[in-house]
Amino acid sequence: MLNIVKITDYMSEDLVSLDLKAKNKDEALKELSDLIGKSDRIKVKESIYKALLEREVLGSTGIGKGVAIPHAKTDAAQGLTIAFGVSREGIDFKSLDKEKVKIFFVFASPFKDSQVYLKVLARISRLIRDEKFREKLLSCGNSKEILDCINKEEAL
């Protein structure tokens, strides 16, 4: 039997924010690191922000079409953890297409979980290419709807 990696296996309703307040990239990374820091799998919450900043130095994780996937490998994470955020206004995230980012998948992973980390990154990247899926995410009204929406999309 195939060992299928599901995005929602690493998420929970308390790690979803549908109203990010950040006005710029730095504020967004701080707010997202605070959000993912709510997880009990994150042991050193302050390290997440630093790790996300360090990853952004390599190049923006704003991948285009209004989506960013800030991610970092850090031993502050005891297991792969994913948070999700929406900025209603959109944030200049220095994306390749110059579009403001509204949808954020942020994740942290310990160094030892490279296989799962890469599978999840690839899976999210594939799903968010679909404009209808992005629109569905933006129309969700609460955390449960976000998780249900991702679950349904993964089942297709």
CB atoms within 10 A of CB 44: 13
pLDDT, tens digit, 9 for 90 and up, residues 26-61: 999 999 999 999 999 999 888 999 999 999 999 999
Average pLDDT, the chain: 93
pLDDT, tens digit, 9 for 90 and up, residues 57-99: 999 999 999 999 999 999 899 999 999 999 999 999 999 899 9
- In the prediction, which pLDDT does 114 show? 78
Which residues in 117-145 are b (16+ Cβ under 10 Å) and which e? bebbbebbeebbeeeebbebbeebeebeb
Residue 120 reports pLDDT greater than 50: yes
Q: Are 26 and 50 in contact (CB under 8 A)?
A: no
In the Cβ-directed half-sphere of 24, how many Cα atoms lie within 13 Å? 1
Among 154, 113, 126, smallest CA distance to 4 is for 154
**Does the predicted model carry a pTM greater than 0.85?**
yes
Among 87, 94, 105, 112, smallest CA distance to 147 is for 105
Residue 133 reports pLDDT greater than 70: yes
Range 104-122 average pLDDT: 89
What is the length of the chain?
156
pLDDT, tens digit, 9 for 90 and up, residues 141-152: 999 999 999 999
pLDDT, tens digit, 9 for 90 and up, residues 1-21: 345 779 999 999 999 999 999
- In the prediction, which pLDDT does 1 show? 37
